[in-house]
Structure formats: structure tokens, C-alpha cells
Structure 1
Amino acid sequence: MEKAIVTLKKGEGRTLKAGGMWVYDNEVAGITGQFEDGDLIYVHDFDGYYMGCGFINTKSKITVRMLSRVKGEEISRSFIRMRVQAAWDYRKKVVDTESCRIIFGEADFLPGLVVDKFADVLVVQSLALGIDKLKKVILDELVDILKQDGILIRGIYERSDAKVRENEGMERSKGFIGDPFDTKVEILENGVKYMVDIAEGQKTGFFLDQKYNREAIKKLCNGARVLDCFTHTGSFALNAGLAGAKEVTGVDASSLGVSQAEENARLNGLEDRVHFACEDVFELLPRLEKEGELYDVIILDPPAFTKSRNSLKNAVKGYREINLRALKLIKDGGFLATCSCSHFMTPELFAETIGQAAKSAKKSLRQVEYRTQAPDHPILWAADESYYLKFYIFQVCEEK
């Protein structure tokens, strides 16, 4: 059956023409032909010029997610294998693949799909209707490609339980794809052992995007007193401990996260020096200031304070507050590692917010490093949403 055609309004599709992967509902002039949501369709400019092929979903603000721009290219099984092979070949060149993100949605030209590899287990998150229909084919091809490299996958678990699926008119989904297996998986990263709970942990169970940022703080931590805020399952705290910190405290509001972090400390033989507390960071930091506590290194790795432009103003207040409080707790000459994982908190706005916090705290900042997400989360320049993690390391000095 001939594919339906989405025609853009005159003057619209600027993001698409710049190499982006999305067509928004307000850019569409009309749709001709028969289709069901999730089907492959063609996209034409207002004058009939062929723009590419992608998935349609009229229930979503993102009406089309593009798959190919090559006229006449068939979205076949061999096309899917080519995309998956390219994603894996790239990871083999740029990261330690023991545990890594193999598919990162639009940045790997497989929009709406995330696949993480934890040792010999895959965790998949499908966030778009069209890609959901191709999910089984993609996973079958990926398992076969890994097998060709001698990597045998013992199980696949789905974590498509994100609220954003509802924006696509899809139900949340979670569970085994194929035979059940033990969902607690031990991984090794930067010499640190973790027990990853892929069924109950946040998102896919572990945040792989901070892999090399965790490594970067090690050089600051030998002999240091360290505070790791929003520790999740203890990753920055454990890296600090293995680097020779004399005392590490990790803090998180999630009791599940703290219990997992404590398990990870025992796994690495660090329970004597790395301790965890279940507390609200916003309440803890002012209390530590009143108590006169000081640290050599503080790490701030908060969850995204905003997932939309509407709540950005409050998010800025949150980032300013925690950075201000942390700066007051750092010894003269100590270090602050601070980050934002919100796409809407732009690099410019994040830098401005940290600068405001430093001014209020009467501290001078010397930038050591600026980093982003690990390269298994590549940033597609034409797709702004793929660039989300901002990570700074500063030396903190008293105003001279």
C-alpha cells in the first residue's frame, strides 16, 4: 500500500531542514492517504519536495519522527540491522562496552528507543509508537550482532514505564522480553563494582551517562572529606572512596537508593569509609552549614529539576539554592563538582546560575573542567534534545 504523505506548511520544518529528527504538529499543513498511528509515512515540503520517511503519531505533539532522508530507501530488516550495527560499531570505538548505552534514540537515528547493556543483560526503553512496532526486530538484530562479537545476552528487560509514553497515547510497560532472569546484575565500571537493579532502579537501573565524570573526580579525592549529594546508588561516593578519600558521605532522599548504595559499598569493601544517609539535600545542606561542617569535595548530581520550559524558573531557583549551600560548605581551595541533567537548563543558563550562587556565597570559582555526557550518549548537533548533561568541576576559593 502506498504510504501516506505529511505536507509541511510553507516556511516550517526549519529544524528538520537543519538535520533534526522531528516534525511538530503545528508545522503540518495536511496529511493525504490512509494510515494508522505508528505507520511509516513520507514527509514533503509545502512544494512537494521529498524530505524523508518516518513514523506518524497524531496523538503526539511530535507528529513525525524521521528514520531516513534518502529517497527510495526501504525501511526493511536489513535497514534496521545497518542502523543497529552502526550504533554498536561506534560504541566499540569510543567507550568501555562492558556496560554502556548501545542505542540512544534520535542520536543513533532510531528515534524514541534506548537500549542499555549491563554486562550480559539488555534493558530497553521504548518511548514512541512507531519504534515500538519495530522493537522486536531491533532487539533480535542487536542480540545477533553482539553474538557475532562473542557477547551472549542472557536476558532482556523492558523499562518502558516512563510517563512520557502517555504523550504518545501509549500505556506504560515493564517486564521481561523473553525468559525471566535475575534482575539484579553486577557490573564493573572504572574499577568500581555495582549491583544494578534493572527492575526497580530509576529509569533503566543505572546512570551510564556519568561514567567518565565519575572517573574525573577521583584525582581530587585522595585524603579528602567528601559529600556526595543526590547519590542515587552511590556511584560518585564509591569512586571517591576507591580514590583514597578519608571519609565519604552520600545522601539521597530515596530509601531504596540508599540501601542499594550501602550494598554497593560492601561489594567494594568500602563500608568503613563510605557511608550513606537518607535525607532531603535541601534540608541537609543548611543544617550542615549551621553545624560548621566543611568538606574538601562536594558533588551535586541532582535529578532534572525541570522537564519542560514551563517549570524552568523554579528549576533555576533549585539549582541556585543547592550550589549556594554547597559552596558555603567547601574549604578554601576545595572542589565542587556540579551538574544538571535537564535539557531545558541550557549550558548558558546553568553557568549563569552557578555564577549567581558563587556571588551570593562570596566565593571565587576557578574552572577545572567542563564535561558532558559519556560518548555512548552522543550529541547530535541537529537534535538539541540529545544534549542534556552539563558537568563542571571548580576549585572554590574565598574572595581575595
Structure 2
Amino acid sequence: MTDSSSKAVVKLNADRQKSLLRHHPWVFSKAIQSVTGDPKNGEPVTIVDDKENFLAYGLYSPRSQIRVRALSFDENTKISEELIHDRIVQANQLRARVFARGNDGVRLVSSEGDLLPGLIADKYNEYIVISISSCGMEYYKDVIVSTLHELYPECSIYERSDTKSRTKEGLEEHKGVILGKEPEDTIYVKEEGQVYIPVDIKNGHKTGAYLDQRLSRIKVGSLSKNASVLNCFSYTGGFGLWALKGGASKIENVDVSEHALNAAKTGVAFNHLDPGRCKFLKKDVFAYLREQVEKGTKYDLVVLDPPKFAESAANLKKACRGYQDINRLGLMLVKKGGHLLTFSCSGLVDPALFQKIVADAALDAKVDGRVVGTLRQDEDHVVSLPCPETFYLKGLDIAVM
């Protein structure tokens, strides 16, 4: 493996160096005073301050607002294939406890959390799915694939680099088999040694499943004994499967995707659970919640796991209104003594803001709720200390009084 560090240098403005000094990995275009050496897409660069003192080594992206993503803050540790290889190996070692819990679906690499910005790698049974969203990781794609194959030679590797963020990097979308065999339309992945979650690698959301919600699915199982459960934005029904496993008396899975709901139905059969306790409703969630409020319907447990409402700072206010509205409706549907489990996966909505939004929703709903638990992404979705954006999934377990 070779040292591929470039002689290109990115100099920052005097007032835009604090985040790098704190080892936050993002350098935005407006922070840059000059670029010398004509770096190409994804190439390594040296980042210096306005007095040309070393700050970090990073990977260059000429079209992105995040112009450089820093990988090393040690002047003696240059960016190389060996560094990328070692980071993937280290990330894999961190996942030992998650595998040991009886999980066959595990995030192996979690982008900035594992100091590999723009790289996601998820393992589902004998498949590894990679998603590359930055020029820098695209530049090192060959070593990424070879390292994952070295660690898991029995696994096929499939690519789901088909996200909108690729266009911001000037990258084309890629999707398909890199090594090995084509996955089936739906596979079933063991979670905590108890429940098999349906995963659609080829056409599902993200890399096929939401592994980050594993801990919260377990929580739903613990709250579901003899409970009526409303599972909103149900996707392939993971929360619903854990609710059935936990003894729910009935469960309504609501999603706009018929494809996802069909996968959820197969998950019930695969886990040998009772389909008579399930409904699968192809509905707009906001509209369905309003319908149920008008009918006076009540549930023991309501789960709200919406998609990311805040895609950028520009639409944060609109996103907050959306979160408040959906939580107001959700709270109005919970019986006294029941629970609302509510989530935000928007990194721009921090835990304090999210709690304020839900508190305002409770006031609007005229509901007395108490936070009896907080929820978050599982440990394979690693959080970087200097990059708080990596802590993106937050949830509240609210008891309605």
C-alpha cells in the first residue's frame, strides 16, 4: 500500500480555523483563503492556517460546500491506502459487542463516526452493502472493497451509492454487485437473536434497513404486552415485529409504500407471528393520524419514526413545525397510562430542541406527558466526540398521564 498524499495545500482564513483545531472534520468552501497545487476530486490535501501552520490532512471535493473532509490531524500520519485499510479494520473491531448480542445486521463503518467521512458499510448476513457519498471515499474505493473482502471473504459486496448527496460531490450514482452474487429481493436478518427483520438491499431505503433503531425496537417489544400499537412510517415493519414478539394484542403498520408494507407482511410470516393481530395500511401518516383523532381512537403505544424533516438549515423552521404537528397528533392518540415513542433523525435538531418541540406539541394536544426514557442510535452507529452531527438519532419515551 502506498502513501498517496498530495502536495496540494488548502489555506484557511484566519477566522475559520477553530473547528479544525477542535478536530471537527469539515472544511466549508467559505472558510478557504486559497488552494494551491490543483487537487482533483477526492485527492489528499494538506490543510494549513493563514500563517501556513499545519492543521490536518484531508480529502478534497471541488464541487461540494464541504470542500475538504479531514482524516488526520497528526502531521506524521499522512493519508494513504494503508490508513484507509487500518481505519476499516479498527471500525470492525468496535463492532464485536454488537455481533455478540446476536445480530447479523451490523453497521461496520459509520462515516465520520469512524473517521472515514462519506463511507457507510452495513453487513446483512452474507452481504456487505457500501454507500459512498464523498469524493474522497470514491477515490479510495478499491482499497475499501479489498479491505472489506479481506475481513469477510465469505461475503458478497453490493453498492448502494445512489444518494442525492453524490450529485453535490459531482459524482454519478452507482448501484449493483461489486463482488459475489446478487441479493434476493428480500432477505431476513437476525436481530438480538430473537426477531428476523426484512431487508431489501437492492431497492430499500438507504442500504436496505435502519439498523440504527435496533435498541428502540427492543424497547417497543418491552412495552407491548397486551397492547394496541400504532406504528407510523413503518417501512418493513421492524417495530411491528418486535411489538408482536412482545405480545401486542393488535398492531397497525402505516406507510405510504406498498412495497415496504408487502415486505413487512412477509416478515410476520417468516417470524411465525400471528398475522391476525396485524393491519398494513397504505396511507399518508399525517392524514391517517388526523382521521384517528377525529374518530377518537386511542392506542396503548404509538411509535412515530418519520424520515428526516430537516435536510438543511434553510428548512429547519418548517421541519420543526412538522415535528410539532405530528407529535401533537400522536399524543392525542395515546391512552392515559400509555406511551408515545417519538424520534427525529435530523442532525440539525439537537436533543434539547427536539424535547422543546415535543413539549410544545403536548401543550397543543392538552396532554400531560412525562419523559421516562431517552433513546438513541445503537453503538455500531458510532458518535465522534468532536463531530456532534454524528449523534443524529434521538428519541423520547413519553408516558401519558
- On whether the aligned pair clears a TM of 0.5, the verdict is yes
For the Cα contact (< 8 Å) 2:40–2:62, is it kept in 1? no
Taking the TM superposition and a 5 Å limit, the aligned residue runs for 1:317-396 are 317-396=321-400
Distance 1:230 1:195 in 2: 15
Q: Does structure 1 residue 185 correspond to structure 2 residue 191?
A: no
Distance 2:75 2:202 in 1: 41
Provide structure 2 residue ranges, at least 5 long, that are not aligned to the other structure. none
Paired position in structure 2 for 1:173: 174
Residue 199 of structure 1 is aligned with which of 196, 199, 202? Answer: 202
Paired position in structure 2 for 1:259: 262
Provide the TM-score with structure 2 as the length reference: 0.94
**Partner amino acid, structure 2, of 1:136:** D
For the Cα contact (< 8 Å) 1:226–1:240, is it kept in 2? yes
Paired position in structure 1 for 2:239: 236
Distance 2:286 2:84 in 1: 46
Following TM superposition, by how much is the alpha carbon of 1:252 offset from its aligned partner in structure 2, in angstroms?
0.4
Share of identical aligned residues, percent? 34
Indicate how the Cα distance of structure 1 residues 38 and 211 shifts in structure 2: closer, same or farther if over 3 A, else same: same
**Partner amino acid, structure 2, of 1:228:** N
For the Cα contact (< 8 Å) 2:183–2:202, is it kept in 1? no
Provide the TM-score with structure 1 as the length reference: 0.95
RMSD, aligned α-carbons: 1.5
**Partner amino acid, structure 2, of 1:382:** P
For the Cα contact (< 8 Å) 2:228–2:249, is it kept in 1? yes
Distance 1:136 1:120 in 2: 20
Paired position in structure 2 for 1:106: 112
Q: Secondary structure at the residue paired with 1:272?
A: helix
Following TM superposition, by how much is the alpha carbon of 1:392 offset from its aligned partner in structure 2, in angstroms?
0.8
Taking the TM superposition and a 5 Å limit, the aligned residue runs for 1:123-138 are 123-138=129-144
**Partner amino acid, structure 1, of 2:176:** G
Residue 211 of structure 1 is aligned with which of 206, 214, 219? Answer: 214
Residue 68 of structure 1 is aligned with which of 59, 63, 72? Answer: 72
Paired position in structure 1 for 2:298: 294
Q: Secondary structure at the residue paired with 2:206?
A: coil
CA deviation map 1:365-387 (0-9, x unaligned): 12111121111111112113211
**Partner amino acid, structure 2, of 1:114:** I
Following TM superposition, by how much is the alpha carbon of 1:60 offset from its aligned partner in structure 2, in angstroms?
0.9
Paired position in structure 1 for 2:272: 269
Q: Secondary structure at the residue paired with 2:379?
A: coil
**Partner amino acid, structure 1, of 2:162:** D
Q: Secondary structure at the residue paired with 2:286?
A: helix
**Partner amino acid, structure 1, of 2:247:** G
Q: Which portions of structure 1, spanning 4 or more consecutive aligned residues, are displaced by more than 3 angstroms? A: 93-97
Residue 310 of structure 2 is aligned with which of 291, 306, 311? Answer: 306
Taking the TM superposition and a 5 Å limit, the aligned residue runs for 1:79-158 are 79-94=83-98, 96=101, 97-147=103-153, 152-153=154-155, 155-158=156-159
How many residue pairs get aligned? The number is 392
CA deviation map 1:318-341 (0-9, x unaligned): 111111111111111111100001
Q: Does structure 1 residue 46 correspond to structure 2 residue 84?
A: no
Following TM superposition, by how much is the alpha carbon of 1:2 offset from its aligned partner in structure 2, in angstroms?
5.5
Following TM superposition, by how much is the alpha carbon of 1:94 offset from its aligned partner in structure 2, in angstroms?
4.9
For the Cα contact (< 8 Å) 2:98–2:106, is it kept in 1? no
